Amino acid sequence: MDALTTLQSRVSSSLLENPGPTPQQIDEMIKAGSRAPDHAGLRPWRFILIEGDSRLRFGELLARSNTPENAEPDPAIIENAMRKAQRAPTIMVVVASITEHPKVPEIEQIICAGAVASNIITAAFTLGIGAYWRTGAAAFSPIVKQGLGLEENEQIVAFIYMGTPRVSLRTPPSITPSDYITRW
Ligand SMILES: Cc1cc2nc3c(=O)[nH]c(=O)nc-3n(C[C@H](O)[C@H](O)[C@H](O)COP(=O)(O)O)c2cc1C
């Protein structure tokens, strides 16, 4: 598939199963991610991989983030969090690591990390790996951020769930570009 066709036909896969991406495929995706435009070449991003049994620890973290402080998580909350944590073999957390820069404000560094995540899901699609970008309350939860080892200057931009698509991919909706263009 040529690059333009890939970009125009990419779709997410929410139903994912084993196997997840290989370490080599993850490297390829990160190389593709790293080619996202990056003002001043700061590389304001890093990745955390959650695979195998680590997903259970991630589920515990999600459950804790949905539970009031000093209370024990409710069994229904634990079950829901465990299900979410295990809905794909691999979860790649894309983190924006923001530094002070005279010409590159925080928002540009977060946009850059978002562009990296976008390149990664497109690279996954090219490799035949299903991917789904999620955030939700967990991405902004101090408990999740601390549990995953984020520093004060870091933000979660994406949880990219990855694996083998369980069902055939849908055809993306078409778009009429002129609906979105004004000429000034
Ligand atoms: C920053 C960001 C956060 C997102 N968070 C969620 C999410 O938490 N849950 C969800 O169902 N979709 C989320 N999405 C949307 C999906 O990843 C996906 O793009 C959408 O369902 C459309 O499907 P498609 O990519 O196949 O067109 C998010 C997308 C972006 C860019």
What's the predicted TM-score (pTM) here? 0.97
pLDDT value at residue 61: 97
Report CA(122)–ligand 1 centroid distance (Å): 13
Tell which one of 11, 92, 129, 133 to mutate to probe ligand 1, the residue whose CB is within 8 A of the most ligand atoms: 133
Could you say which of 1.10.357.10, 3.40.109.10, 3.40.640.10, 3.40.50.300 is the CATH number of the domain covering 3-180?
Answer: 3.40.109.10
Helix (H, G, I), strand (E, B) or coil at 58: helix
User: For the chain, which residues make up each domain, given as ranges?
Assistant: 3-180
Which ranges of the chain have pLDDT less than 50? none
128 lines ligand 1 (CB under 6 A): no
Tell the residue number behind the tokens 């009429």, with chain if given. 176
Q: Where are the beta strands (DSSP E) in 114-180?
A: 130-134, 154-165
Q: Is the dihedral of CA 40, 48, 107, 119 positive or negative?
A: positive
pLDDT value at residue 77: 95
Q: Identify the burial level of 93 via C-beta atoms within 10 angstroms of its C-beta, where 0-12 means exposed, 13-18 middle and 19 or more buried.
A: buried
At 95-140, the pLDDT tens digits run: 999 999 999 999 999 999 999 999 999 999 999 999 999 999 999 9
pLDDT value at residue 1: 79
pLDDT value at residue 27: 98
Tell the residue number behind the tokens 């983030």, with chain if given. 65
pLDDT value at residue 171: 95
pLDDT value at residue 140: 98
Q: Identify the burial level of 167 via C-beta atoms within 10 angstroms of its C-beta, where 0-12 means exposed, 13-18 middle and 19 or more buried.
A: exposed
Q: Identify the burial level of 46 via C-beta atoms within 10 angstroms of its C-beta, where 0-12 means exposed, 13-18 middle and 19 or more buried.
A: middle
pLDDT value at residue 87: 96
How would you classify the pairing of strands 130-134 and 90-97?
A: unpaired
